[in-house]
Structure 1
Amino acid sequence: DYTCVNLTLILLNIILKFKPNRKLVNGSDLCSGRVEVYQIGQWRTVCNDIWDLNDSAVACRQLGNVVSAPERAYFGQGSGPIWQDDVGCSGSECSITQCPHTRGTHNCRHGNDTGVICSGRGVFLPCLDLSFVRLVNGNGRCSGRVEIYHNSQWGTVCDDNWDMNDAKVVCKQLDCGSAVSSLGSAYFGQGSGQIWMDNIECSGSESTLRQCSHTTTHDCNHGEDAGVVCSGKEFTLLVNGNGRCSGRVEIYHNSQWGTVCDDNWDMNDAKVVCKQLDCGSAMSSPGSARFGQGTGQIWMDDIECSGSESTLRQCSHTTKHNCKHDEDAGVVCLSDFRLVQNGQNHK
């Protein structure tokens, strides 16, 4: 038997820890009511200007076909902000947040709140929208290349205009704490397939990346894939090298990135860094700012790892130093190591 809240949908929501971004309020059952969407931390109503059956079909998705689309606060007036106006869905979208609409400006009152009545005989079809985000190829689930799920496949985000406000939204969406760094130029490696979003401009208050201003057309390649580091874990990065597995060692402490002094820096220390970044074995441990001089604080000195530690902070070290940035330590891991002979690469 079909029920209004399809059991398959419930199970998928539990598995994916998915929080629906729309609900029907004040109806006779879960398949009818005033349409509300969740945005910037609260539920908001939708104005009935140009609202039609295509819009209602999207609102009813997973709940069956549209029976009717009553207007003028048929299910009672909502409260708080009115988020969407002039919604113009084609009917094929997964969520009304994907439909063309005006946001932030409207000429409506809650007497114009829209509602829907759905048939309650929906058959579940997977319909994931751009609210699904993951971080790939980083150190755990809270750092990596930004990927979004759309049109039944994962794709990347271009780094044009990519900044800390955008990273902040991704970290919030993934429950990974605050944003530590917003990285471009495929720092976490190049993705494949589609580039779904470009020119993203978040204010930082949005709940999902999809809610930020953006374009779906682009002039990018995967060498411009955007990345994020969130504060959910302790972080070490390799900077200014050939990809994420070689470069100057930088660690995040006290809300800022800083470097490591090369006093006593050796292969055991490099081994721990490569392990921590999931970059394979250590190939070399260059000092003397081989990958350029950093800026700001020098957070660690006289590091002495055994090589068995999981993170650099677990190694014996001092936080006081007598160093300058021309002594910044570096690492080259196996993942970024290659031999070049007569212009040919030998793996």
Structure 2
Amino acid sequence: SCPLCSLLLSVPPTELRLVNGPNQCAGRVEVLHHQQWGTVCDDGWDLEDAKVVCWQLSCGAPISAPGWARFGRGYDPIWLEEVSCSGTESALTECRAKPWGVHSCHHGEDASVVCSGNPLPLSSYPMALRLVNGPSRCAGRVEVLHQHQWGTVCDDEWGLSDAEVVCRQLGCGTAVSAPSLAHFGRGRGHIWLDEVNCTGTEAALSECRAKPKGVHNCHHGEDAGVVCSDPSEVRLVNGSNRCSGRVEVLHNQQWGSVCDDSWGLDDAEVVCRQLGCGTAISAPPRARFGLGYEPIWLDDVNCTGSEAALSECGARPWGESNCNHGEDASVVCLGKLPPYPFMVQLCKEQC
């Protein structure tokens, strides 16, 4: 079997393209938002941003990041401005930027990218990571993917700073604990990492110092684990995937819905971030994904969009509402799966 290829079949093509260039790996950067293509302003645009675009499109390494509409002026809208990537993101939508559509630019400032055009080896991408054998996707034994095989991490020097990076990379909030001694069961096969030493600020575990991959003096009784703050107090149901659906929150050990009064993209953005689902695409009202069941836990939710969890947003007290389930709020997120071309490449190499 080839689970990565099965996953690939459910992933839509990336919502990013390069246009008006000499080939598919050079041109004006355009992103899809609200089912409409738009451009990116060149304010702050540089090679780190271009690197993410090239990776996302499986176009190799960045050669240049031209501004000033090098590949012609686009058309309205201008979707992104002041994009600021670290260079480790797997998609442009993971980079910091002004809110969608907020800008002070004109199309003479459209950003562009020129990539090498040759796909990079898989080792150049951030190392894939997962937590297994835990009670949720945000707790479990740490496993990393190397040479197409999943393997474990030794607990030598393993601590909260390392766990913090794992939680951040997986979109799982903050680290609660960093269990050692195979707390979530012994793994099998390779032990890929030993003596991992993160500062806690890295964007991915592969950025942390460690012994060379596969070099260790451990056994699987020393497999490292992680418990993150776990966004399991919110979920999306009845959607096409875990990143879309009716919003439900957990309170008093019971799931309930959220009223759509004042519900908008800022609120949806928080839900998507909390679930590790990327950016919000829409915030449908009126039970778009079906009617929930009692209770209706939240009403008049008012997020700024910067909160780490829906529970941090302003709202009426739990259980107080003037709504019915025909007003249940929903969310559609972009998702945070690996870029489509990258998955194609990985599928070809592995399968």
Report the TM-score when normalising by structure 1: 0.42
Larger RCO (alpha carbons 8 Å, 6+ apart): 2
Larger-gyration structure (1/2): 1
Structure with greater strand percent: 1
